[in-house]
Amino acid sequence: MKWNSAFFQKRPFTKQQIQQFFDNAERDLSIAMTNSSVEVIFTFTYNAFLKLGITLISSNDYKVKSRQGHHVQIIYQFSRLLKDEKIEIYGEAMRRKRNIDLYAGGCLVTQKEVKEYLNFVKKLLKKVKQFI
C-alpha cells in the first residue's frame, strides 16, 4: 500500500494508543446514537467515522498529519485498508455536507440521510474492531 508522505508519517503506535483512538471513536458514535438532533447526530457520526479511519491507519503504523486535505486522505486510505469502496462514497458525501455546513452557510442533512450514515458507521466500528 502506498502512503502519501505529505499526509502520513511512519510511526509505530502501541496497542494502548490504538485502543484509545478506537475508544474515542466509539464514544462519539455513542453520543450520536443517544441524541435526537439531526445536526448533532451528523456531526458526531462524521467525527466517529474519521476517528475510525485514524484508528485503522495508526494500527498500520502511520500517523495522520493535520493539514489541508487530510480528511480526503483519511477517507481514501480507510477505504483502501478495508478494501471497501463504500467507505470512500459515504465518507466523501459526509465530508462534503460537513464542508457546506461549515464554510458555505449551512446545509440540511435529512433524518433519512443521518440514519443511513449512522448505520454505516456502526457497521464500520465492528469491522475496525476486528482489525485492532
Q: Are 64 and 74 in contact (CB under 8 A)?
A: yes
Taking the model in full, what pTM does it have?
0.93
Domains of the chain plus CATH, in order, are 12-131 (1.20.120)
63 bridge partner residues? 9
Residue 97 confidence (pLDDT) above 80: yes
Q: How many CB atoms lie within 10 A of CB 112?
A: 9
What's the pLDDT tens digit per position in 41-70?
Answer: 999 999 999 999 999 999 999 999 999 989
Backbone angles phi, psi at 23, to 5 degrees: -60, -40
